A and B are shown apart, each in its own frame.
Chain A
């Protein structure tokens, strides 16, 4: 049974992990993208629509990525070019995303008598690894997107910590003035980070209809975007720690479903609150200083 919980935990964690990693890139470059929930909604719908209309899951994934990237461009223009308040912009994008996804879904699929569904990603076990007892069941008998998330975590870790690109992104988020003086194009870097990061967030959104519920519903994201935001802070803006936090959340969520079934009286709402409470606790104990990109949320302009 534990295996089932852990396995489900990994599945639940995957979309959140994508969103977390995407937002991680955003924030490391200094942009506080609060519109995660809205971006996930829009890309969830785009992914679903793409898969439904073309019959190809790959197209669905692609649509999700593109939708995310486009929204990232919007966030970028607002934060970098217009230097608008990033917090309020994020909330506006969230609200906008709720509206647009509902609207688009009803406009295109509203007429149907039974809700449209797709053949989503199925679990595809990896040949040898999937047969390892216990671990194989949990980690290597998942769908393709979950495997992608494993790869992404390490890819992101590698890029951020071990490549010049990652160094530039970090520099730009810490002290854009020093980065500018050193010859780095702060604006270009930030645009890159926000678009790439938002594309990843879009992937997280597209995962939900494509690999989780295999249809679209208006509350398909239901707060995962905000959880992802909290987890980035909780994970101290480090790819591995953030991914671990997402996994932890997934496992807790999965176990709480089982606990509910067994009649154990732990209030659901209490569990739902936990990520947020924990994040506040982490902030209080650790102080916001450690790990947070020093220029997070502050627009940069050459004096």
Chain B
């Protein structure tokens, strides 16, 4: 199937297709659930970008998607597939909570950077395992990083129900972290928190790293044609390890941000699958930080809008996941159609 390689067409095909297919599938589902289409559509639009309240919700969802998406961009660019971002997020959140609970006496401007750094390190460590297995043993990083997701979520569950258990034994949550560990809000009287600023700053840094540094150029070459990289004398193994570890670290920061800015404690289900949805975000953003910013806003808005739609109309909450699944599928289908046999 030959598709014209018009640039704008290529950029917009995926999101537009995603929206169209989602509408096509969701409309009958909404009707089936006995809800009103107009009411649903209005709620969707208002909930995503239409009201102040909606925007705040979007911002909150965009933040972790953006952070993880940026990490995945770096990683995918090198040719490795990090499917373990979810687990890396959980590990980062775990460490951040631990610090937030136990080092609560340290003042905020000191504590928060400490939490960020350790969350990064923990996420990075969690990603280090699969990449070492890949680089030195040839084991697929897809399988190993993915399996580690479960290990991470169970470790977190264990900690929440055990050593770090909260006041209510029936609820899988920890105590609230100290006030000093909480990220300040950026819009007064809303839940919008500083994490978004952190994400934007990191977006700028990743952009700089990828396009303005020598290492960024190395990343590009290693990802494009590793054979040529070897011939040109590049240390391919090292580039791959750094790329994966950075993506793990950023996912860890996403975990920290969710704890520190939104929930103020660690929950067993702190992530509604951000680690997986961010894969779609990275692809949608065409592995470019600027694109990823926009893609994460799109996804965040979509998720928030659908949730609002669900809340207002009373449609079963499953619709959120249905839409997510459809969006990811349409993104990879459009990539496959446009680029034929290319890897992603």
Interface string of A81-122 (1 = CB under 8 A from B): 011110111011111111111111111001000000000000
Q: Are B155 and A269 in contact (CB under 8 A)?
A: yes
Residue of B with least CB distance to A91: B276
The answer to whether the Cβ of B197 comes within 8 Å of any Cβ in the partner chain is: no
Dominant secondary structure at the A interface = helix
B318 touches which one: A78, A103, A273, A301 (CB < 8 A)?
A103
Q: Are A272 and B322 in contact (CB under 8 A)?
A: no
The answer to whether the Cβ of B323 comes within 8 Å of any Cβ in the partner chain is: yes
Whether A103 touches B142, Cβ cut-off 8 Å, given contacts A269-B154, A269-B158, A270-B158, is no
The answer to whether the Cβ of B287 comes within 8 Å of any Cβ in the partner chain is: no
List chain B residues, Cβ under 8 A from A291: none
Interface string of B272-286 (1 = CB under 8 A from A): 010011011001000
| Interface residue total, chain B, C-beta cutoff 8 A | 53
The answer to whether the Cβ of B324 comes within 8 Å of any Cβ in the partner chain is: yes
Residue of B with least CB distance to A292: B140
Q: Which of B's residues lie within 8 Å of A, judged by CB?
A: 29, 32-34, 81, 83, 133, 137-140, 142-144, 147-148, 150-151, 154-155, 157-158, 161-162, 273, 276-277, 279-280, 283, 315-326, 328-329, 332-333, 335-337, 340-341, 343-344
List chain A residues, Cβ under 8 A from B340: 83
List chain B residues, Cβ under 8 A from A107: 29, 32-34, 315-316
Nearest first, the 5 closest Cβ-Cβ pairs linking A and B are A96-B325, A99-B321, A102-B318, A103-B318, A106-B316
Most buried by A among B140, B318, B337: B318
CB-defined A-B contacts under 8 Å, sample of 29:
A83-B336, A83-B340, A83-B341, A87-B142, A88-B283, A88-B332, A88-B344, A93-B325, A96-B325, A96-B329, A99-B318, A99-B319, A100-B318, A102-B317, A102-B321, A103-B315, A103-B316, A103-B322, A104-B318, A110-B316, A226-B150, A233-B143, A269-B154, A273-B154, A276-B148, A280-B144, A283-B139, A287-B137, A301-B341
List chain A residues, Cβ under 8 A from B138: 287-289
Q: Are B148 and A272 in contact (CB under 8 A)?
A: no
Taken together as a complex, chains A and B put the C-alpha atoms of A78 and B158 apart, in Å, by: 37
Whether A270 touches B276, Cβ cut-off 8 Å, given contacts A78-B333, A84-B333, A106-B318, is no
Q: Are B139 and A89 in contact (CB under 8 A)?
A: no
The answer to whether the Cβ of A2 comes within 8 Å of any Cβ in the partner chain is: no
Q: Are A89 and B147 in contact (CB under 8 A)?
A: no
A84 touches which one: B32, B325, B332 (CB < 8 A)?
B332
Q: Are A287 and B318 in contact (CB under 8 A)?
A: no
Taken together as a complex, chains A and B put the C-alpha atoms of A289 and B140 apart, in Å, by: 10
Q: Are B33 and A103 in contact (CB under 8 A)?
A: yes
Q: Are B325 and A269 in contact (CB under 8 A)?
A: no
Whether A99 touches B324, Cβ cut-off 8 Å, given contacts A223-B150, A230-B147, is yes
The answer to whether the Cβ of A267 comes within 8 Å of any Cβ in the partner chain is: yes
